[in-house]
A and B are shown apart, each in its own frame.
Chain A
């Protein structure tokens, strides 16, 4: 057993020993690990609910649950996956783990606030779970909480809304922290032009978190007030306007989809150059397109509302702007692909996930174009095509990027390597199962099956069955992947500083990194993040 001799870095070094050393830590790496653990747990809960949804839909009519339970199931599935899994996933877990190291700092600007943000997350998660079991029954509004249904239903909507409010607060605190850190704590020589792309995307994301999240905060508060006072804020008969609710909701929730994808794009922009051993193609285009997505993403929210009764002029404007956001995404895809040109490509597990990301994201994103065009959205709106679209971008994009990040960086933070063969098997099953599941959903959506449907007409049976079977393949892949990573972290072979031969700062310090990251002396950076000349990969 080599355990005793291996170095354990921040896992052991701490001002406080034991469990308190974790619960009261202000170290960004430990907080990152806390986040990772909690959000993976939430992911597993949410994913099992997803499996239950698919099982119910294997045949028309009732199979395993009644309509009310089904409605609660997809609501909780959506709330968990969005607010508790994907929004915090990469920024809060890997952002915390890596942001300070990437810019050569000891920690983030506000370490205590960072811990507070994790506690807000935990409180939100606990309240959300409580809302499932509390008095009125699990919330059944869909994750969008549309009025007037959400103000009328007798389920625990207020509690769930408050939970989402806390999660939003947590996200805001992370955002404030990251913007400040990037501005204030870059080490000597870390110019804007030398920031790794991951940091650029985190920075853009953090701005969205700061400037958009409060809008969902006030929206949720209004729902709670409306439920307690019955004031009629969104009731047309009392001077309100139900469509305005949808504006407020999407003003946040559309930018939020870029909170989910941008950091993922950052991860892919780290992984691809490393495994092609070649500088990222078009660094500045990549950096600026991240900011462009963040900015333009705040201009397009009403594309979720083409069929809502909104004015036609608004449809014209928002449809136009929606297409504009697609352009920076296209730039990114083209740049990733051209980075491969004349490289030296190794298909290690993180790279496989990155390539799968590009494919899935392209399908999802191109599907987004059909949704962005006014005429076609009228047919596709609120059908399973939308469900397919967002699983492609959120799971196939955001989720796969998280898995890429886990395969890429977890060895760094645990000091141990997982089994590559098993990782490839898990990846293949996941990738194939994923595409079966969601391609079938897109197809059935084009045929006209509406979403949030407990029951469907018999014509849709076959495709739904295909989709359900696909979800089992995917489940198998996920279990293999998680099991392999877990075993690797516990008992894999120890690795050196730099197993992949990457050029960003974290690879120049021990694995796992020590408490102070860089020791007594702050680092001085003299080269860009993707200059691989002279970087040698350690054997592992």
Chain B
């Protein structure tokens, strides 16, 4: 009945607005981080050394690469290379899973050392260290949740692409999922140096 209304730019614009809300959401945690860092610079450096920089760096590379693959996927669909696009999407999902697996090992190692929010051991290490790890777990946890959501989203879009619902003519869905995925990457770009690299 209603005439099909289509506004790809509007859809992208809406997605950008949504990404802003995500940025602000994370910024709450970054505010807490910034204030605590100003208060306990020494203890933060000390706590940061307890994190495993190898896990962090590998995950950074994984995420950057996944960002590349999903960006390529958008170019691919624009050029009508559906097969390419599908492969790139699935690679992205695989990288996301790799990221989470990595995270899983990293966290299990830390938790087995008795470092987790509310633990006794943490409390003994001093207020600055406690605060660092509290924020680390909550920020990385929230980010991990976003990785999960983003990967599922891309998975769904890949299926739709395979079914021909996403084409070189209408690919906003893929484009918006890619935007979301890039945001996940952006958050990590800040999270990584702030938590793993404070000296």
Contact = CB atoms under 8 A, between A and B. Distances in A.
| Touch test A–B (CB under 8 Å) | yes
Contact of A180 (B2, B17, B27): B17
B14 A239 contact: no
B168 interface: no
B105 interface: no
User: For the side of the interface on B, what is the size category?
Assistant: 35 or more
A501 B138 CA distance: 57
B18 A247 contact: no
B131 A239 contact: yes
A184 B7 contact: yes
Contacts of A218: 25-26, 28-29
Contacts of B39: 239, 241
Nearest to B135: A233
Contacts of A240: 131, 134
A176 B3 CA distance: 23
B196 to A, nearest CB: 19
B24 A229 contact: no
Contacts of A184: 7, 9-10, 13
Interface string B16-32: 01101111111111011
A515 B137 CA distance: 50
Contacts of A219: 28
Contacts of B138: 222, 225, 231, 233
Interface in B127-172: 127-132, 134-135, 137-138, 142
A230 B118 contact: yes
A33 interface: no
Contacts of A180: 10, 13-14, 17
Contact of A179 (B17, B24, B32, B134): B17
Q: Is the interface of B mostly helix, strand, loop or mixed?
A: helix
B36 interface: yes
Contacts of B32: 233, 244, 248
Contacts of B36: 239, 241
B14 A176 contact: yes
Given A109-B10, A184-B13, A211-B20, A239 B29 contact: no
Contacts of A516: 2
Interface string A92-113: 0000000000000011011001
B123 interface: yes
A537 B117 CA distance: 67
Contacts of B31: 244, 247-248
Contacts of A15: 1
Contact of A176 (B1, B18, B123, B128): B18
A214 B127 contact: no
Given A179-B17, A180-B14, A183-B13, A239 B28 contact: no
A516 B11 CA distance: 21
A423 interface: no
A233 B18 CA distance: 27
A336 B8 CA distance: 40
A210 B10 contact: no
Nearest to A172: B21
A216 to B, nearest CB: 9
Interface in A245-285: 247-248
Interface string B108-137: 000000000110000100111111101101
A512 interface: no
Contact of A106 (B2, B25, B134): B2
Contacts of B21: 172, 176, 210-211, 213-214
B150 to A, nearest CB: 17
A176 B35 CA distance: 30
Contacts of B28: 214-215, 217-219, 222, 248
Contacts of B24: 211-212, 214-215
B40 interface: yes
B63 to A, nearest CB: 21
A218 B146 CA distance: 14
14 contacts: A113-B14, A176-B14, A185-B7, A211-B24, A215-B25, A217-B28, A231-B130, A231-B137, A233-B131, A237-B127, A239-B131, A240-B131, A240-B134, A241-B39
Q: Which 6 A-B pairs give the minimum distances between C-beta atoms?
A: A239-B131, A239-B127, A218-B28, A231-B117, A184-B10, A214-B24
Interface of A: 15, 106-107, 109-110, 113, 172, 175-177, 179-180, 183-185, 210-215, 217-219, 221-222, 225, 229-233, 237-241, 244, 247-248, 515-516
Interface of B: 1-3, 5, 7, 9-11, 13-14, 17-18, 20-29, 31-32, 35-36, 39-40, 43, 117-118, 123, 126-132, 134-135, 137-138, 142
Given A214-B28, A238-B131, A516-B2, 7 more contacts: A109-B7, A110-B14, A179-B17, A211-B21, A211-B24, A214-B23, A248-B31
